[in-house]
Amino acid sequence: MFSRTFLDRAMLSISLATLALTYLAGKTFGFWIAAVILVAWLGLRTRQMVRQRYQASDTPQEPTPATTAPATAKKSPLHAAPVAEDTGDLIEGLLAESRYALLLRPQIVGNLTADQITRGLTLLDEEMAMIAAGDVAVQYWRAQGQPRDKSGDLAATFGFFLDRYPVTNAQFQRFVDSGAYEQSSLWDPEIWPSVEQFVDQSGESGPRFWQDGKHPAGLQKHPVVGVNWYEARAFANWVGKRLPTDAEWVKAAAWPVQSSGRRPIQRRYPWGESMERKCAHLWTHETTGTAEVDKTPGGATPDAVHQLIGNVWEWMHGNFGGADLAAGIIDFSSPMKSIRGGAFDTYFDAQAATQFQSGECVLGRKHNIGFRCAVSVADLALSDESADDQAEPTEEDLSTLPEEAAR
């Protein structure tokens, strides 16, 4: 049929013609004839307008395009971890992510098959070194005027396992991909409201120098950096481990020899008493950043713990200055945590020694600070005798895993 535009134009033409006819009629036949023609035209025009109104109301309306973007699913701040449909798949997933320290807990290991326990113990042996219990002398930073024992405070350590290498970008990528930044159980309660601020260069959750939630290409074997103390601690929780204490770290690095009735004899560097540049990734004219974690095998301890000196400083569990902070003797403007080991941009050899302690703000996300993890021997089941006749674990048995990770 005719379009609305065509009809409007036709009516306009008729109206103009009617007015012209009215004018001519008025000139030719007088006022009354012209008035009759005008009234007749007004009646036709009114009738036409009423019909158009009814036709418009009967015509189906085209849907109005949305003026705003469609609503997207809002991400819950307490987004739960993905749940495996089968408990066997859950265990295999944890092993694939090298989260064996969770599965080897005495409360959990009875639900694993003998094969799964063996694989967990193999991963433990490959990725961590067991450090025997014993005494160690530990030096802490002291403010001017505070009592200082140059040989260090004597501390006792229990047996523990320590990662053979700093945590790499590839390992931390698994942590990010799992949605760990949205799992409140992994984080300290006081920092949880601020976790959403721990983002990369693109605003995605992750280390400071990453992009779009991904680590830099080609750096998968480099230590992860740009993470603060809370992020390091959350990762440790995720894999069922923790950050080492100062005493534990020095025990592993200085390799103390116990002497009856005397203080332990310790090394200045993991390989001996003298600095050897080939054993550690420290400052040189050619050094521009981190290196792969297995770059300097000559600097490993006798039990194959690598890069305790150089490449990146490492977060410790304790405060900067040791026990002095707890006593309120040292007043920093912000909480400081202990870091040790020196980094790729450390110039002075004395700062890259096993006894040197430095500190960093607990929220610092620096380009030269990474971490490695520890776990106490007493917290693990180290034999496969607890295998439950190849029994499949139940959902109820494994439901405690997230809580276990948070401890």
Q: What is the pLDDT of residue 400?
A: 45
Q: What is the Cα–Cα distance from 324 to 338, expressed in whole angstroms?
A: 12
**Tens of pLDDT, residues 69-126:** 333 333 333 344 444 558 888 999 999 999 999 999 999 999 999 999 999 999 999 9
Q: Is residue 215 part of a domain?
A: yes
Radius of gyration for the chain, computed over Cα atoms and rounded to the nearest angstrom = 37
Residue 75 placed within a domain: no
Structural domain includes residue 22 = no
The pLDDT of residue 405 is: 41
* 319 assigned to some structural domain: yes
Q: Which pair of tokens denotes residue 300?
A: 């490993």
pLDDT at residue 363 greater than cutoff 70: yes
What one-character DSSP code corresponds to residue 324? Answer: G
Nearest alpha carbon to residue 314 among 235, 229, 375: 229
Contact (CB, 8 A) for 371 and 341: no
Q: How many helices (H) and strands (E) does the chain have?
A: 11, 9
| Number of independent structural domains in the chain | 1
As a whole number, mean pLDDT of residues 323-329 equals 50
- Enter the tokens of residue 56: 């418009």
Provide the pLDDT confidence category of residue 18 given band limits of 50, 70 and 90: low
Give me the domain span that covers residue 258. Answer: 131-379
Judge contact between 304 and 327, C-beta under 8 A: no
Residue 228 lies in a domain: yes
Q: Is 125 left (phi over 0), alpha (psi -120 to 50) or beta?
A: alpha
**Greater pLDDT, 249 or 388:** 249
Residue 301 belongs to domain with CATH number: 3.90.1580.10
The overall longest dimension of the chain from CA atoms, in Å, is 140
Instruction: Give residue 358's pLDDT.
Output: 94
Distance CA 33, CA 28 (A): 9
With cut-offs at 50, 70 and 90, classify the pLDDT of residue 149: low
Rounded to whole angstroms, the Cα distance separating 316 from 243 reads 6
User: Mean pLDDT lowest for which of 106-110, 228-232, 283-287?
Assistant: 283-287
Residue 139 in any domain: the answer is: yes
Per-residue pLDDT at 21 exceeds 50: yes
Q: Is 315 helix (H, G, I), strand (E, B) or coil?
A: strand
**How far is CA 201 from its chain centroid?**
13
Q: Is residue 147 a part of any domain in this protein?
A: yes
Q: Considering the entire predicted model, what is its pTM?
A: 0.73
Within a domain: residue 330? yes
Residue 404 in tokens: 């276990």
Percent of the chain with pLDDT over 70: 68
Please report which confidence band the pLDDT of residue 57 belongs to, taking 50, 70 and 90 as the band edges: very low
Q: Stretch 48-62: mean pLDDT, rounded?
A: 43
